[in-house]
Amino acid sequence: MKSSIFKAGLFTVTMLLVGFFVGAFGASAAGYDQYAATAGLAVASLNFIPKGNLKTSFNIILAADVVAEWKAVYKAEGQGVKDIMTKLTQRSVTAKYFPTRFTEKTVLEKVSAEFSRVLQRFQKQYTPVGGVKFEPLKIALFKLKIDLQERPDELEESWLGFLADSSLNRKDWPFIKWFLMNALIQAEKDLEMSEIYHGVAGAIVEGTPTAAGASLDGIKVQINRLNTAGKLDLITMGAVPTDPILYVEYIEDMIKQVERPLRNELDYIFVQEDGHDLFRDGMRLKYNVNYAQVDDSKITKLRNDNIQIVGLPSMAGSDKIWTTPSWNRQAGFKKPGNETVFQVENIDRLVKAYTDYYKGFGFWIGEYVVSNDVELV
């Protein structure tokens, strides 16, 4: 009898330890080191929960959705965070091509210096010629924010009851931690798919959230404003072809029209993702390249220039083709520490979370930005 009790106790302790380490390791592997202990305890606690058939949802789960789907009845069936299937989301891509500069200001500033001719043939008389012209350069930053609120009590009698807690402080409930971590991922998608390329900063209406794509001035509108100001290196090319070979020739002809000193500084040509695939297919067809034996970085590079074609998710639906040297692309960031943290408040069982920071993406010298002549408005 004592032996059986001892073995049962030893087995339980072993399972608890294994559960804790599995949960902690899983959280760390997913990049959430700060929640390793919480995840470990959550997994370990599953040993005390009766196991049954798991039910899963393939939607982003909100409290009201879960209550509507499974009604206000909580059954402990071993469900956990692993069973919450969130929809696929787009992570940030475009921003990594803009070198980041941290600042305490709301605008980035530099000055361009342009020299006129100074060299001349010698003569005895002093004949000065040439000089320098300075022009101030600015890239604006836009203040962004995330405001969230949720009443997690709605979860307590639903299938998501495991995300509730006995604490009166709702902001400490597991649901809030899960919710905020995934909100940060959604913010990356919002920046990539709505703001960084297609965005046009809109007017603030007090008490009303700004619409998607109205939080900052994106790449497209800045290129078009440079063209309006006569500062863009606009290449007349006409409509973008859909045939793979003609698409390759279109980009090759466009880059050939860029002056050699600037062309030698170019690193990437930016297109939408479908354009990247079209260029790759065109290179294989035009130059009879055996794709199975050629690295992708070579088949998506111009033959006569060391310039790579890059497909940006942010440019979805756009036929613009643009390029500029890496040192002419710039991202600005104020309050970078706020991007991954929230101020969380618990008011009358309603949990509110918010954060704010500044971001901006732009170009220093417009004359060094090259674009085809489509979508100019």
What is the pLDDT tens value at each position of the chain, 377 positions in all? Answer: 445 445 545 555 555 565 555 555 554 544 545 545 554 554 454 444 443 333 333 334 344 554 454 444 434 445 454 544 455 556 789 999 999 999 999 999 998 898 999 999 999 999 999 999 999 999 999 999 999 998 877 766 555 555 566 676 778 777 788 788 889 999 999 999 999 999 999 999 999 999 999 999 999 999 999 999 999 999 999 999 999 999 999 999 999 999 999 999 999 999 999 999 999 999 989 987 665 566 666 789 998 898 999 999 999 999 999 999 999 999 999 999 999 899 999 888 888 999 999 999 999 999 999 999 999 98
Which residue is associated with the tokens 């030893």? 10
Contacts of residues 18-26 at CB distance under 8 Å and 24 or more positions apart, as own/partner, are 19/43, 19/44, 19/45, 19/46, 19/47, 20/44
Coil/strand/helix, residue 234: strand
Non-local CB neighbours of 30 within 8 Å, separated by 6+ positions: none
Q: Are 321 and 240 in contact (CB under 8 A)?
A: yes
CA distance 54 to 162: 13
Coil/strand/helix, residue 103: coil
Torsion (CA) 272, 276, 282, 283 in degrees, nearest 10: 150
Per domain, the residue ranges of the chain are: 1-48, 106-140
CA nearest neighbour of 102 among 338, 353, 341: 338
Query: What b/e readout covers 116-133, taking b as 16+ CB neighbours within 10 angstroms?
Result: eeeeeeeeeeeeeeeeee
Please, which residues bridge with residue 114 across strands? 133
Coil/strand/helix, residue 344: strand
The burial of 360, by beta-carbon neighbours within 10 Å (0-12 exposed, 13-18 middle, 19 or more buried), is given as buried
CA distance 142 to 357: 8
